[in-house]
Structure 1
């Protein structure tokens, strides 16, 4: 058995465990000597706190928007015929056929002052002056939701397909209205998919770099950009490592909280 999993263990060790250990080691060193300066800076520098606050706030907004948009799509896809389910999921997965960079540039073109969105709104007489849809948080959130929406829809769809259709039918036969049956029967059974999608979207948003860099216009400053600046402009590998370690701890805490709400096995769909 050990021989069978040895190649996978070697790959994980080389590509994941060793780099993470090196990252943690770097966060405690400065100019060849051990130090806690990087973590002290994290606790005292307001820029660090503001960056983490903005990153988590954007992650919350993106996750909430993904739930509002993704749940109805997954619900319709799960209840549709196999042919229509394939069509709906094909449109959901269509963005995966292009890179994140291409999609970010596409939204940059769509949302700019002379882009399709502002032009359509102006031609329809809804607005007179172009809306500021880029170089701010709004553009970053719109593009991020679009890019991460499949990570919300797919876990929801997988969970909803496992719900026996007899259960909502039984609720209706007992006199429950469609809304009552949905709230008391279907929604609780779909919660593992909701939490799995929330965790995926939230964690992925925390590490986003290209989208806020392009659509934020320097006004949307996220943790990944703070790490990049420390390395590119100041060559502060220790500072960048400490930020990354703190972010990893936050991600670990998120997974822990999610597993406290619903067992991790149900979130991952293993039981």
Structure 2
């Protein structure tokens, strides 16, 4: 019956595998039509590219960390909420996904400007004396990126959190464990598969985001996607653009593969723990 998978496999090969192979081949093709490693040598031999990679990874890590801090309690609140409240929280979480990233990014440029709503609120509450600069710097970029990618952290953790028996926390409390110890020794280990999946989703999207940095920070802060777009659109350097795309793809694939392996390891450990307990 394996032949039934041939149409789907053929479509995936044409739609995904073939373009990736062409992209990989382009990264080795020189301007004179020959093939070589000049593109990769130029990329890894330039200190500027190392700074761009650092900028990309740093922003992705910051966004992923903040999404985890905000999304973890939200996911558990959704898992423990009543059905009507859970439905309302789902609607609040998923509805923004129907809005284009471009629209949301433009909205944040309005909110974060010097006379925008965010600065007006900070000034009105007396938290600052002067408007805080939030556009064209990392601060505004992180705020907008967290808003866009937060649902992709909440949903995987929620999926795992709803499967955790709430009586485990009660059992830990009867054995003398406080809330913090229960979180660290019971809840957190059981929720790690969802945490790893959510972090992989958010990091993969953060490391490859292009629209949000372009609108909120411009060319002042270069990342791999922005550099790749400039190589293709402005410099017309196909080899440089393909090389950047391959480097970005390797980073994203490494995160996805690593998170998949780690998730399976954690699930197997949890299953072995349940089996030994039984």
Same fold (TM over 0.5): yes
CA–CA distance in 2 between the matches of 1:4 and 1:266?
Answer: 31
The answer on 1:26 being equivalent to 2:26 is yes
Q: How does 1:72-151 map to 2 (within 5 A)?
A: 72-151=73-152
Give CA deviations for 1:176-232 in whole Å, capped at 9, x if unaligned: 223222221111100111111111101110110000000013222111000000011
Give, in angstroms, the shift of residue 172 of structure 1.
Answer: 2.2
1 CA distance for matches of 2:126 and 2:163? 46
Matches within 5 A, 1:85-234: 85-234=86-235
Q: 1:127 to 1:178 in 2, by over 3 A?
A: closer
How many angstroms apart in 2 are the aligned matches of 1:187 and 1:123?
38
Tell me the number of residue pairs that the alignment of Structure 1 and Structure 2 aligns.
267
Determine if contact 1:28/1:34 at 8 Å carries over to the other structure: yes
Query: What is the alpha-carbon distance in structure 2 between the residues aligned to residue 17 and residue 266 of structure 1?
Result: 30
| C-alpha separation in 2, matches of 1:252 and 1:130 | 41
Deviation, 1:175, is 2.8
Q: Is the 8 A contact 1:137 1:219 kept in 2?
A: no
Residues 142-170 of structure 1 show CA distances to partners (whole Å, capped at 9, x for unaligned) of 10010000000000000001112232222
Distance 2:52 2:110 in 1: 27
Higher mean displacement: 188-197 or 246-255: 246-255
Contact 1:134/1:217 (8 A) holds in 2 = no
Structure 1: gaps (5+ residues): none
Name the stretch that deviates more: 40-49 or 55-64. Answer: 40-49
Deviation at 1:259, TM superposition (A): 4.1
Instruction: Kindly indicate whether the alpha-carbon contact (under 8 Å) linking 1:38 and 1:242 is maintained by their aligned counterparts in 2.
Output: yes
Normalized against structure 2, the TM-score is what? 0.91
Instruction: Report the counterpart of residue 244 of structure 1 in structure 2.
Output: 245
Following the alignment from structure 2 to structure 1, what is the Cα–Cα distance between the partners of residues 227 and 265? 31
Find the aligned partners of 2:183 and 2:214 in 1 and give their Cα distance.
Answer: 40
d(CA) in 2 for partners of 1:138 and 1:118? 13
Question: Structure 1 residue runs of 4+, over 4 Å off?
Answer: 264-267
- Residues 20 and 236 (structure 1 numbering): CA distance in 2 closer, same or farther, change over 3 Å? same
**Could you tell me the TM-score, scaled by structure 1's length?**
0.93
1:264 and 1:196 map into 2 onto residues whose CA distance is 13
Unpaired stretches in structure 2, ≥5 consecutive residues: 269-278
